[in-house]
Amino acid sequence: MATRLFSRSKIPILASIVLQNLTKNPSKNFSFLAFKPKSPIVDFVAHEPILGLRQYHDGRPRGSLWRGKKLIGKEALFVILGLKRFKDDEEKLQKFIKTHVLRLLKMDIVAVLIELERQEETILAVKIFDIIRKQDWYQPDAYIYKDLIIALARTGKMNEAMQVWESMRKEDLFPDSQTYTEVIRGFLKDGSPADAMNIYEDMIKSPDPPEELPFRILLKGLLPHPLLRSKVKKDFEELFPEKHAYDPPEEIFGKL
């Protein structure tokens, strides 16, 4: 109790001492106010969180759609949500496209396309891409084709992937090694080795030299098809003589 009383009485005692010193020599005692610390004082920004606590809601949407996608504008975000909402109703979807999608700016509609591919909404992405191709500012771009074809192949929509593929070739654009790899992988996963071989033949005739990865994908996927695999292996050994093509034991798949 005595300690508590003493602590309460310290403030008036200190205050009286300070007042007495100030009245005696004010200029000397005010010198401490002009003291400048050697290290700069850190300015605290009011909107930054303190100790990990957010002081206010900044108004941005929450969730996986927005995370890492700060460049997506509000209109583009609204369009993405609307397309997903009406994707099972063609009539409402077309109406939504006419009233909202067609008025988007160039960067917004491209952002919508990229985000739909990321979310594996590939059928909607194809519709948006068809709209982009009809715009006055559109110019053939191999990278836009590449991303869409790869997204379709990875989701198993090989028919749609080949339709986009044909459109790309009509615009005198050629796939790169990654595109060939994903389409070949997609056909093998789909159980269509003949279609995979057609893409392989197209790759061999491509102006760009083939890379190693598509060959290895084929060599692995064609294990149940020794005749097709032997052709790919022969081409692989001619193009990459320093590389080794792995052959599994004969008791698994027979003699290759």
Express each pLDDT in 159-186 by its tens digit: 999 999 999 999 999 899 999 999 999 9
Q: Which of 134, 76, 126, 122 is nearest to 101 (CA)?
A: 76
Mean pLDDT over 30-48 rounds to 45
pLDDT at 77 over 80: yes
CA distances (Å), 220 to each of 111, 184, 230, 238, in order?
A: 36, 11, 12, 18
Single-letter amino acid, residue 120: E
This model's pTM is above 0.75: no
Q: Are 253 and 224 in contact (CB under 8 A)?
A: yes
Which neighbouring-strand residues pair with 50?
53
DSSP state for residue 42 in the 8-state scheme: P
Q: Map out the domains of the chain with their CATH numbers.
A: 69-137 (1.25.40.10), 139-256 (1.25.40.10)
Q: Which pLDDT score, from 0 to 100, does residue 36 have?
A: 47
- pLDDT tens digit sequence for 90-138: 999 999 999 999 999 999 999 999 999 999 999 999 999 999 999 999 9
Ordered DSSP codes for 58-81: -----STTTTT-TTS-HHHHHHHH
